[in-house]
Structure formats: C-alpha cells, structure tokens
Chains A and B, each alone.
Chain A
Amino acid sequence: MRLSGPAVALLALTLLAGCPQPMPDITPEPPVLRRLTAAQFHNTIGDLLGDDLYIPEGLEPDLRAGGLLEVGASKAALSPRGTENFEQAAYVLAEQAMAEDRRGALVPCTPTGPVDSACAETFVSEFGRRAWRRPLTDDEVQRLTGVADQGASTLGDFYGGLEFALAGLLLAPEFLYRIELGEADPTGAWARRYSDYEMASRLSFLLWNSTPDDELLDAAERGELTQEQGLRVQLERLLTSPRSREGLRAWFADFLQLADLDDLYKETSVFMHMSDTLGASAREETLLTFETLALEEAGDLRDLLTTRRTFINRELAALYDMRAPARDGFAEAALDPDRPRRGLLGQASFLSLHAHPVSSSPTLRGRFLREVLLCQDLPGALADVDTSIPPVSEEARTLRERVQRHLEDPSCGGCHRLMDLPGLGLEHFDGIGRYRASEEGVAIDASGELDGIQFDDASGLASAIHDHPDFIPCAVQTFVRYATGVEERQDQQDGLDWLSDQFALRKHLVAELVEDLVTSPLFRQAGTISEEASP
C-alpha cells in the first residue's frame, strides 16, 4: 500500500503519540537542599496540624533566583532572623496543637501520667514520619522522646512536654528543608535515583505544594514510587485530586512572578482604582483563568494568551469598565471581542506589575515578555548613559512620541527596540491596566512589532506571543526549573526539547506535561553530590 505524504506524516504522528520515544539521556543535576517556601510551610503546617490553626506568616522571605522562588529555595540560606522567627512560630503552633480540644487528633495514646515515655515515643514516631516525610530511626525517636520526657517532668504535664518534642520536629532541618539527596540505583538503569520517600516529597510538593499524605508515604514504604507503574498510580491520584490545582497554580504564579503583587505600589492620586486589595484581586484573576481554562477544561496553554474569557470581582470589573459578574467574589465574564483587551497580557496582574507607580512602561512590559514569557536573554542596562525622557511638549505628547529617542539613538535603540516595540502594543492600558483611548489628547497608537510580526494593538501582540516559537519551550523550561528547583544544565537541553515536542503532540495540556516530566529521568534520576560550592 502506498501512502501519500500527509498520510505518512499523520501516521508518524499517531505512532509518536501512541508509543512515544523515551526522553534522550540527560546528565542529572547534583541534588540540593530545598528550603520550604513560605507557601509550602503554610500548607504543610495546615496538613499536619489542622488548617484552622493560627499559622504565623512572614517568617522568612522567599528569594527569587533564576526567575523563580522555587529555584531561590535551593540557594537561600536561613537567616538568623528567620531562625529566630521559626523558633517562636514552632511554639505558637505546638501550644495550639496540644490544646485540649485538638491533642486527641495528633496523639494516638492516652498518657498514664505526666511522664509516659511509651506514649511520647508513639507520638514522636508517628507524627515524625509525616513531618520529616520518612520514618525516623530509633535513635532519632529516642532523642526526641527524651526531649518530651524532660519537658513533661519539668512542667509536670505530659502534653506540655510533647510541645517541645513537636517543636523539635518542626525546627529540624528534616522539616524545614526538602532533603532529596538520591540513592544508588539498584536496578542499574542509572547511577543514582531519588529514593521512594524522596519521590513522595517531589511528587507532593510539585502537585499539591505541600507535604505527602499518609497514602503517598505508604506507597513509598512499599517501594512503589521508584517503579514506573507505582509512580503512575500515585501521579494519577494526586493529579486528579482537587488539591493539584493548588500545586499547579503555585507553578503558574511563580512563572509569572505574581508574588510581587503583594508589594504592588501605585500612586493613588494618579490611579483612582488602586487599593490595598487590587494586587491580590489581580493575581486571583490570572490564577482562576489558568485554573479554569488550562486545568479544569484541559485547554491549550497558549490559549490563555488570546482568550476573551476572564474571571473578575467587583473591583476588577470597575477597573475594566465592565458589569460585575457577581455580587461577591469572582465569576466568569466575557471581554468585548472588538476591544484590544484579551488574555493574560490584558489582565491587571501583568499590566500593573510591569509599569511605573504613575504611568505605563513599554520598556518594562517588553522586557518581561522577552525575558519571562519567551526566555530570551537581553543585554543588561548600561551604566554611564543619559536616560532622560523629554517632558510632554507640543511635538511629543504621548509616551510613544517621547521615548522615540530611545529607539532612534543608536546607543539605546539596539536594546530598547527589542523591549519597547512589543511593549508599545500595550499602551492602551495605563499603569494599573485601565483602558485609555488617548493620552494628553492624542489618540493612542499601539502598533508594534515582535520578532518580525507586525501588530496593531494588544490583541495582535497576544496572537504574536501565542504563535511565537519560543513561548512553549520557555513555559516547559520554567516548569522543569520549578519542579526540580535548579537551573537546567546545557547538556539537559535535549531533554527539554523532547518535553516541548511531547507537549505539542499533546496539544499543550498542562496535565500531560506534568505526566511526561514526572515519569522522565529529569525528575527521577539523581546526580552525584557536588563537592564544589556553586555560587
């Protein structure tokens, strides 16, 4: 039988999708300790002790490195101040956990008196396994039981003593860091792999942004997570749980650097719609869009850029000049198909973060598009250049006219054209994302260009990013960085390219990307512990 060209291609595609080639060999990263991020600490405490507890916040700021807080977590040391804060927080938590109405849920035995070593030991051993994400050794159990006994006899109170053992578990590096160091691979497939308990942590923090539950730890204990079949079973369970939304939202928020919305700073005399809650509202809009379209409805990730559907509350409806879709909270709303606002780039989160306190900024917006959404390297800003922008004048009234210098001056233009030409496409939106047809009485010209694609306004820019060949590889690279906590090495590029190809075959469904990564060597294979300090 002879097949036509397109039919061969189709067959090849089907075969590829059906029984994909495995990821090419990669050189695995040396393992590093990952400090729990602020969100992971919060979620983990909630899972361990109850989410109605008062959980102290702001103990230690997260650090962004390689574009992500999750990479910073592999580099940041714990500051002395953070150590002090965690110590105080541990007792605030322990006291609540051992309160009369709550202790029963955590302590599986009834003490026979103020000092009951056997009961303390049971608590340390059972709770310790959940807190440290692995079983404790006998020595470890004995050491912390000793702390509990000492406390109980000093205070004359069994539960008072347990508070100190609990604090000891929460202050230990086994709790505050994710210790995933790998083990020799007995199957010989690789030199080293992540162990069963380490895989439990890796899965759980990636998918739920929190600590493994008992079922996952039990699967680790049975040795199932180092086996592909067992891994897939648990992956399926975690991914189909509603809790996976939390974990994948955390990735998306880290990707778009939405944590910075906590510190959104705008001059209220210029932006009437600015408020203390606007940053949080804007973040929720973006995350609901991602959660609904990319996860719940299993849509193409790229379509987040061009969708006319969004999710807003009253505050954002006022900012966008729309009817509020719900009296309280967030609800879906449709954007006007004839206006430039659509997709992620039309949302207040992006538009307000990448702007000045009193105005928009084509440069900052263009830089974010290139560096974060397309993972392109830009030259750094120059020292020793005159950067002044002329004031509003008869000849130059709009910002576009005033920054024209940046584009024409050869010393500025090379780099500024890269940023400003795409960024100018968003000039219909002011510094917090409100639509404006004109500036200083002159109609806005929002035309621009991105890597050879000309567009008239933000809607055209959204399509240009949607179709840009760098967008999907960039999203994949960021996801891998997020999942592994390290910046990929040069010799892992083949693995990343493979993931991007798979992602395209699977119609850019985020859940498929998660599955492809989690079952690949990039996630399961461990490198050798590094003897050399990296900066």
Chain B
Amino acid sequence: MTRKLPGRATRWLPVGVERVPSRRTVLRGLLGGAAVTVGLPPLEAFLNASGTAYADGCSLPARFGLFFWGNGVLPDRWIPQSTGQGDEWSLSDQLAPLADVKHLISVVSGTEVRVVNEIPHYSGAAGFLSGIAPLGEEGDNTFAGPSIDQIIAAEIGGETRFRSLEVGAHPGAGLSFNGPHSSNPPETSPHALFERLFGAGFTAPGEEPVIDPRLGLRRSVLDAVMERIDSLKGRVGASDQIRLEQHFDGIRDLELRLARMEEDPPDLAACLRPEEPILDEAIASLSQRNRLLCDLIAMSLACDQARVFSNVFTRPVDNFVFPGMEDGHHRLTHDEVDPQPQVHEVMVQIMAEVAYFIESLNRIQEGDGTLLDHCAVLATTDVSYGRTHSLDDFPIIVSGGACGALRQGLHYRSTTRENASQVMLTLIRAMGILAPEFGSGDAHTTEGLGAIEL
C-alpha cells in the first residue's frame, strides 16, 4: 500500500508553520493484522487551529469517550477487595476480563450519585451522566440537561467533521442528550457507521479531496434553511425557540462539515481507511457487533473525524438474553435468587466488552504512545446493585491518559461517600476545558476527584 507523502497544508497547519519532513515507520496492522507502511508525520504538525499545542504540551488532541452498560453490577463481586496503585490491588471476579488492561484503568468505587432515586435506572443514568435528575414525566425518560459527552462536544466538537458520534450494540434510544427531549440517536449498524464515517465524504490522508460543485449548492440551500428557522423563531413559544435553536445548530454544523469536505485531509499517521465491515445480517452476536463498532470508532478518532463519542453497549432496563442465560439481563437482576450466578456470568461477559473497547483504543499507535494515551474514557452503568436500583457505591471505570491528565492502574475507594459528579468534572477538565462546576442540587460539585488526577 503506497501513500502520497507529505500531504498538502491542511487546517491542522496554521499559515506560517513549516512542515518538517516526515519519517517513515512500519506499524503493525491495525484492523487486518497486516503490516502496512505509513508515514508518521512530525509531532509539530499536530497543532490545533489556533496554532498552539494541546493541553499540557500534549502533541495530540484529547478525546473523550463513554462506554455504558445497563443494569448495574453485583457490587460484592465487582468492587476490588484491595485499593491502591499498581500491584497494591487486584481485580475482582467480575473485573477479571480486564487483566490485560489493568495498568490502563482506574476503578473508582464508594462514590454516590446524588439525585433522588425516583425513576428506577433513569435516575442513575441521568444523575451520573448529566448531574441532574431526569424529568419525571410518564415514560419519557428524558434527561433534564446535556450528558457529559455533549458538554464536552460543545467545547471541542467543532474542530472535527462530526461533532460527536453515538453508537451502541443494543442501545435503545441512547443516552446522549443535548437537553430535554433532544437526544442524539445511536447508530447500531457497523456497516451504516462505516458508510457515514468512511464512505463518501471521507478523504484518507494523502488523498485528493473531491471537488464537487454540488457541495457549494448544498451549502446555499442550508443558508436558506437557516434564514427560515431564524424568521420562525420570533413567532413561536419559548420551548419551541429552544428546539429551533437546536435545529439551527445542527444545520450550521452540517454546513461546516460540507465545507470541510473540500479541504485536504489532516495528515495523520495512524489514520487508515478501514475495511468495510460485514453486513448486519451476518453479525452473529451482540459481542461481535460491539467489537465492530469499537474498531470503527477507534479509527474515526485516529482519523480525527470526531473527538467525542458514546457507546451504549446495552441500555438501562435492557432485557437482552446473554449467551448461556435463561432469562433477559434486567429480569435476572431482579428475579434471580442469591447469589445470582447468571447475573455474575453476564457481568463477566460485559466486562470482556469493556476490555475490548479499551484495547481497541490502545491498539492504535499515535505519536509517541497510543490513541488511548490521548483519550479520557469512562465506562459505567445506571445503577449500582441492579436488584435494588441503588445509587451509592457507584461502579466507575476511568481509562486513558488524557495527555497526562489522568492516573491509571489505580483502585480508588472513597471512604467518605464522595460525590460521583467529581469524576465527571475531572474528566471534563482532562479535556483541557476550564469548567468551574458539574451537576446541580446535591449532585453539584466544583471539585474534581483528586485521587485520579495527575
């Protein structure tokens, strides 16, 4: 496979910054396992749009990702017995599948999600991911404010082709919210995700972008649509104004994306157009679907198509019947008699998916480290103990170095029932965002969780 080197000046390179000649290296295959020769551009090329280096001298942009599974854990068998750094602690029964990435994760236990636990599963999901209790309307299950991925996307999502990506193997309506009744529906089909990310409109490093006169015309149409939305906004009620603003923002993002399609692609060493995944009908298991989605997400980050994503493996109250089980997961958590051996087995299967997800990011070499070194990743769920819907001792895994902002290889157990929102504030700040606070009411915090920060 040959590539053109070097690429032409791109939006990554501000005017006046001179490109240093590239070095070549051989990277072990990313998706197919084959050896490929790719150009490794100089680290100096990785500057943001204003020409400054990324946070803390990190030469690559920080990315944020959420991995979510539904229905909690069995706390007694999920939380590690010992605490500390490195060899000081050991994985629990249920965390055992994470053995290969233990040095890359921090397990946080003992914190609590401080919202009124009114709507089973959704109070926890909304309370942790947005820091606010969900709106308690009948069957709506809508968040009252933006979820953490969208809080972060509002700050850093504008730099990339996609503001954020939402996927999930069995996600229901998803958990990515811009605000009340405004959610970002997840993609469940690896093939459709591939088409969206790497189909028409994607230019791999070194390729010439397609110049298409229709792109300019499509942007003119979007201009006209934005004028219509603006003129309508003055005539509608306050709630509708918010809805129309969200619609307007979506159109403006789309217009920016069309403009970028005519630019040269960023010259990113780790970016390779992945192979087209198998069609949905050929997918044999939930695990296989998740892993295909994880691989595509990882490559989309390496290609800087997006810097923020959420992956909802299973949704709150999900009743999927996992392989080998006699009943759906949600029902097992409530109905199975102690010690809930089937729930335990399901947890082990889910943790194996968390491990794959982390490995998919760690497998890609980027700069002097891996893609995961430039990510902050949160893996969590909607309740602590599935049977009782409890929100104390909440299960949290943080992974990735976030360009040196986060500690790894740690089990931190809060002995003072700290506010789980502190983890969120740490993650937001790890993106280089100067956020003063996260959450509201009892869940409000102005402090991060120092124990997992570097």
Is A386 in contact with B388, judged by CB distance below 8 angstroms? yes
Is B321 in contact with A357, judged by CB distance below 8 angstroms? yes
CB distance from A514 to the nearest CB of B (A): 25
CA distance A144 to B249 in the complex (A): 21
Residues of B within 8 A of A265 (CB): 319-320
Instruction: Name the contact of B337 in the complex, choosing from A32, A83, A390 (C-beta under 8 A).
Output: A390
Interface check A172, CB cutoff 8 A: yes
One of B88-96, B229-237, B412-420 at the interface = B229-237
Instruction: Name the contact of A76 in the complex, choosing from B182, B222, B335 (C-beta under 8 A).
Output: B182
Interface check A383, CB cutoff 8 A: yes
Residues of B within 8 A of A78 (CB): 243, 246-247, 250
CB distance from B335 to the nearest CB of A (A): 4
For B225, the closest partner residue in chain A by CB is A171
What class of interface size applies to chain A in its complex with B?
35 or more
CA distance A150 to B123 in the complex (A): 51
Interface check B117, CB cutoff 8 A: yes
Instruction: Name the contact of B217 in the complex, choosing from A33, A87, A154, A267 (C-beta under 8 A).
Output: A154
For A78, the closest partner residue in chain B by CB is B247
CB distance from A440 to the nearest CB of B (A): 14
Is B238 in contact with A533, judged by CB distance below 8 angstroms? yes
What class of interface size applies to chain B in its complex with A?
35 or more
For B232, the closest partner residue in chain A by CB is A173
Is A391 in contact with B337, judged by CB distance below 8 angstroms? yes
For B153, the closest partner residue in chain A by CB is A80
Is B178 in contact with A79, judged by CB distance below 8 angstroms? yes
Interface check B363, CB cutoff 8 A: no
For B124, the closest partner residue in chain A by CB is A383
Residues of B within 8 A of A155 (CB): 213-214, 217
**With A33-B236, A143-B227 as contacts: A533 and B140 at CB distance below 8 Å:** no
Interface check A409, CB cutoff 8 A: no
CB distance from A366 to the nearest CB of B (A): 16
Interface check B253, CB cutoff 8 A: yes
Q: Mark A396-411, 1 if CB is under 8 A from B, else 0.
A: 0000000000000000
**With A154-B213, A168-B225, A358-B327 as contacts: A80 and B185 at CB distance below 8 Å:** no
Instruction: Name the contact of B181 in the complex, choosing from A65, A371, A388 (C-beta under 8 A).
Output: A65
Interface check B180, CB cutoff 8 A: yes
Is B254 in contact with A386, judged by CB distance below 8 angstroms? no
**With A167-B221, A383-B117 as contacts: A535 and B137 at CB distance below 8 Å:** yes
CA distance A67 to B137 in the complex (A): 10
Is B140 in contact with A383, judged by CB distance below 8 angstroms? no
Residues of A within 8 A of B251 (CB): 83
Number of inter-chain CB pairs below 8 Å = 201
CA distance A53 to B251 in the complex (A): 25
Q: Mark B204-248, 1 if CB is under 8 A from A, else 0.
A: 000000000110111011101101110010011111111110110
Interface check A218, CB cutoff 8 A: no
CB distance from A98 to the nearest CB of B (A): 13
One of A10-18, A452-460, A524-532 at the interface = A524-532
CB distance from B388 to the nearest CB of A (A): 5
Is B221 in contact with A173, judged by CB distance below 8 angstroms? no
CA distance A155 to B212 in the complex (A): 10
Instruction: Name the contact of B184 in the complex, choosing from A80, A384, A386, A387 (C-beta under 8 A).
Output: A80
**With A65-B140, A531-B237 as contacts: A171 and B221 at CB distance below 8 Å:** yes
Residues of B within 8 A of A151 (CB): 217, 220
CA distance A181 to B338 in the complex (A): 57
Residues of A within 8 A of B242 (CB): 77, 533
One of A56-64, A108-116, A196-204, A417-425 at the interface = A56-64
CB distance from B334 to the nearest CB of A (A): 4
For A179, the closest partner residue in chain B by CB is B232
For B243, the closest partner residue in chain A by CB is A77
Interface check A31, CB cutoff 8 A: yes
CA distance A283 to B183 in the complex (A): 27
Instruction: Name the contact of A173 in the complex, choosing from B117, B120, B244, B249 (C-beta under 8 A).
Output: B244
The interface centre, meaning the residue of A32, A357, A390 with most chain B CB atoms within 10 A of its CB, is A357
Residues of A within 8 A of B391 (CB): 383
Extra contacts besides A63-B183, A533-B237 (13): CB < 8 Å: A33-B236, A76-B181, A78-B243, A80-B253, A151-B217, A155-B214, A164-B217, A168-B221, A173-B228, A267-B321, A387-B334, A529-B237, A531-B238
Report, nearest first, the 9 A-B pairs whose CB atoms are least far apart: A83-B250, A77-B182, A530-B237, A80-B250, A387-B334, A533-B238, A77-B246, A383-B117, A383-B389
- What are 22 A-B residue pairs whose CB atoms fall within 8 Å in the complex? A32-B239, A33-B236, A64-B139, A66-B140, A67-B138, A79-B183, A82-B250, A150-B220, A167-B218, A171-B225, A356-B319, A357-B321, A387-B335, A387-B388, A388-B334, A388-B387, A390-B337, A391-B337, A529-B236, A532-B237, A535-B135, A535-B137
Q: Using CB atoms and an 8 Å cutoff, list the residues of chain B in contact with chain A.
A: 117-120, 123, 135, 137-140, 142, 144, 163, 166, 173, 178-185, 213-214, 216-218, 220-222, 224-225, 227-229, 232, 235-244, 246-247, 249-251, 253-254, 257, 319-321, 326-328, 331, 334-338, 387-391
Q: Using CB atoms and an 8 Å cutoff, list the residues of chain A in contact with chain B.
A: 30-33, 60-61, 63-67, 72, 75-84, 87, 91, 143-144, 147, 150-151, 154-155, 164, 167-168, 171-174, 179, 181, 265, 267, 356-359, 371, 380-391, 529-535
